[in-house]
Each structure stands twice: as structure tokens, then as C-alpha cells.
Amino acid sequence: MSNQYPQPHCNSYYAATANESPDYPLLEGANSCDVCVIGGGFTGISAALQLAERGYKVSVLEANRIGWGGSGRNGGQLIGGFSGERRLKKFQDKDISDLVWNMRWAGHEIIRQRIEKYAINCDLKFGYMDVAIKPRHMRDLQEEYEFLQRMDFPHEVRLAPKEEMEDVLGTKAYRGGLINMANGHLHPLNLCIGEAVAAMRQGAAIFERSPVISIDHGGKPRVRTERGEVKCDFVILAGNVYHSLEARRLGGIVFPAGSFIIATEALPAELAQEINPLDLAVCDSNYAVDYFRLSADKRLLFGGRCNYSGREPRSIEKSIFPRMIKIFPQLKNMKIEYAWGGKIGIVINRIPHIGRLDKNIFYAQGYSGHGVNVTHLAGQVLADAIAGTCERLDVFDRVKHYRIPGSRWFGNQLVALGMLYVRLLDLL
């Protein structure tokens, strides 16, 4: 996970099963456009597609490959809501409950519509379950269930009591769960690749292997790479935890947390049916979450073991396999065929860090674990802001984020301490 550009995709199940992606060119020489997007993950590509659909001339500059970052290597869990929802309300001078409720599900709708409109093949499947390990988790799930009922949530949602759990998941590990059929799972790299192709077909110019080294602010910002530059009216900074641009204003706010995933070999049909008959994406309720789901070809993709050092464990497989076996001992003889990790961008108050540096330079980053859904919301919020509607951007831009001054290293030690505290909470 070093920052030497350009890098190929990591050794993930997703990279091994990726749909064909065009070989986008390197940025060379002088270019111009309306909006220059830095970063080719969900945030950047989603914003680029929104803008291209609205007729803007867009350039996307990606340091590595499209979907190289968190977007192409995550758990693929499509989960409603965003972290820090409740805290976000405290920074507002009016009630934003309706706005927050709508934003909770906006990303799902964008993804669903795009998959349909652009025929993106990314194994989208609805069905998701939060599972409880401790009694207080079950109380939280009950509360969420009652909230969704009060909101007249139009999708199937139900609590599964402990007695039912073994039938629903084939494990004795959990006290119960909350099934929500509005959430689901997908192949994230193929979604990102498909959205990039859609953006290109809508007229966006996409460049890979083109790390941005600086942004000159002004009425017509210039975004520079080693071999080229883009003169534009607006800039969107979408490098998330993998960029270190604009350090004076953005440094010390988003911290890398390592999360790691293993993929088994394809499971025999009966075993897949036994451990996850409803084909749900599953996430436990700990602060440092474990999450899993079946892939389209019936491997178990099991992830977790968050660390705040940003470092990869010596063996991802050895670190994650025992956690998987604790939940599903019946998988102890299954071969692990892929193991990989990535960085999650964490902000201290957990509210996505979305706003503007200047009237024409915007950023969105730090989704604190949630991302598949929220990045798509963020892309729309940024595109709206560029088109002149800033209501949702301002809701995030008003938030006061904590900043840990000093080097990134020093900051991470503090976040690591915070993580230790969080682990202790999980043990209570």
C-alpha cells in the first residue's frame, strides 16, 4: 500500500474477475475542460458521470487504474445511511431530518439506476443483515427496526431472533439480526469500471497513470501532473485517503485504517446454501466490524481486522482465516485463493468530509467505513454544487472537523490509541 505511482490492482478476487476496462491514456501536454476530477474511485467517477450527463466537459485524472483504491477492493456491501448521521444534525441551524433520511438512500437509487441504464454487469444482489454479538447490539437493531417502521420504510425489513439464526446463516455465533432487503451486495470494481465507461461514453476524458502533483488555485485553476496539466473552471478532489494534496487545509483530518479480506475457493453448492441460504451481505455490530458475503461464483468473501497503523499484516490470510472459522467452522478445509487489503479513510467525528476549499474547488472524502452508497451520494452532491445547488453540500461543509496537527505518523498513533479504546468497547 505504498504511494509509489502507478500501481496495478491489488491481488483481489475483484481484479481477477474484472470486466474489461479500456486502457485509458496518460495525461500529456496542455488540456482544458469545465471540471477536472482528481481520483478515479466511486467519488470521482460518480461525480464525473453526473456532470457528463448534464453536459459538462469533464476530465478525470487517476494516479493508477480506475477503481484502484477502496472502490475496487472493498467488501462490496451496499449499506444505507452514512456514518455520523446523528452528529451531522448538531451542526445545523434547522431540522434536517428529512434531508438526512433522503440522503441515506440516495446512493442506492443512483447505483440501481446506473446499473440498469448503462447495463453494468456487477452482480448486484439485494439482501443484507446486521448481526448482533452482544445484548446491546440486539437492542440497537431493535431500535433501528422500530425507526424504519415509523418511517414507513417501503422495503422488507425484519428482525431475526436467536432461534432463527442458524437457519438464516448457518452459524451459532450471533444473538440475532436485522434483515434489510433494501441493502445488498455487488462486485465493486466492476461497478466502478462500468461507471467509468459510461462517463467516457457521455464525453468525459479519463486519464490513468496520471498522479496529480499540485493544484494552482484561481479563477481558472490548473491541475498539474508530471507530464501535463488541465486548465478548468472547477476542481473536484476525490483521492480520499490515498491523496496528500492540499495538505495545509486537508491534512490531519482523514486517517488510514487498514481493512483486509480473504476469498475462499468456490464453495460446493450445499455448503454455500448451508452458511448463507438467503445470499445476504452480513456485517456484525462491533465498532471494528467483521463482514462477509458470497460472491456470484459462491466463494465466501470475509473481511475485517481493522487497524489504524495503515500497515498490512505479515499474512492477511493468517490474520483473517481464524476469524472466519470462528463464525463458520465448516469452512476449515476450504482453500483461500485471494487475500488483499486497503485503506479506509476515517475522520474523527465520523461525518463524511465534504466541502469546498475555494468557490471552485470541492472535495469529498473520509466516509469512515461506509462508502459504496455514500460515494455515490457525494458525487451527486458535488455535481449539484457545481451546477449551483449547494443545499446538501452546505450541510456537510458546516461541520467542524477535528484536525490532528503534525505529521501523518503522529496523527496515526493517536488514531491507533483511539482504536484500542474502540476494541475495548467491543469486549464489554
Site mask for ligand FAD (CB under 6 A), range 303-332, x = bound:
x-----------------------------
Q: Name the nearest CA neighbour of 195 among 372, 9, 25.
A: 372
Q: What is the dihedral of CA 323, 328, 330, 335, to 10 degrees?
A: -50
Please give the grid coordinates belonging to residue 79.
449499506
Contacts to ligand FAD from residues 130-189, by CB under 6 A: none
Residue from 33, 38, 49, 182 in contact with ligand FAD (CB under 6 A): 38
- The verdict on 79 binding ligand FAD (CB under 6 A) reads yes
- E strand map for 186-333: 205-207, 212-216, 222-225, 228-231, 234-237, 254-264, 281-284, 291-294, 300-307
The SS3 call for residue 247 is helix
Q: Name the nearest CA neighbour of 77 among 53, 107, 48, 51.
A: 107
- Stretches 42-50, 118-126, 146-154, 247-255: which one binds ligand FAD (CB under 6 A)? 42-50
Give the Cα separation of 367 and 116 in Å (integer).
26
- Stretches 55-63, 82-90, 198-206, 319-327: which one binds ligand FAD (CB under 6 A)? 55-63
- The verdict on 344 binding ligand FAD (CB under 6 A) reads yes
- The verdict on 61 binding ligand FAD (CB under 6 A) reads yes
- Total residues at interface with ligand FAD (CB under 6 A): 44
- The verdict on 75 binding ligand FAD (CB under 6 A) reads yes
Instruction: Note whether 365 and 375 are within 8 A (CB).
Output: no
Site mask for ligand FAD (CB under 6 A), range 1-20, x = bound:
--------------------
Q: Phi/psi of residue 126, each to 5°?
A: -90, 145
In the bound state, the residue with its beta carbon closest to ligand FAD is 371
Burial class, 20, CB count within 10 angstroms (exposed 0-12 / middle 13-18 / buried 19+): exposed
- The verdict on 240 binding ligand FAD (CB under 6 A) reads yes
Please give the grid coordinates belonging to residue 370.
461506509
HSE-up (13 A, CA, CB side) for residue 225: 28
For β-strands 205-207 and 212-216, DSSP reports them as: unpaired
- Stretches 15-23, 40-48, 330-338, 390-398: which one binds ligand FAD (CB under 6 A)? 40-48
Residue from 33, 36, 48, 62 in contact with ligand FAD (CB under 6 A): 62
Residue from 9, 10, 49, 69 in contact with ligand FAD (CB under 6 A): 69
Q: Judged by CB, which is closer to ligand FAD: 132, or 215?
A: 215
- The verdict on 56 binding ligand FAD (CB under 6 A) reads no
Give the Cα separation of 280 and 109 in Å (integer).
19
Q: Judged by CB, which is closer to ligand FAD: 41, or 411?
A: 41
Residue from 84, 127, 184, 211 in contact with ligand FAD (CB under 6 A): 211
Give the Cα separation of 119 and 115 in Å (integer).
5
Considering the complex, what minimum distance in angstroms separates the CB of residue 416 from ligand FAD?
17
Considering the complex, what minimum distance in angstroms separates the CB of residue 239 from ligand FAD?
3
Please report, as ranges, the residues that interact with ligand FAD according to CB under 6 A.
38-44, 61-64, 68-71, 73-77, 79, 211-212, 238-240, 242-243, 245, 259, 261, 291, 303, 341-344, 365, 367, 370-373, 375
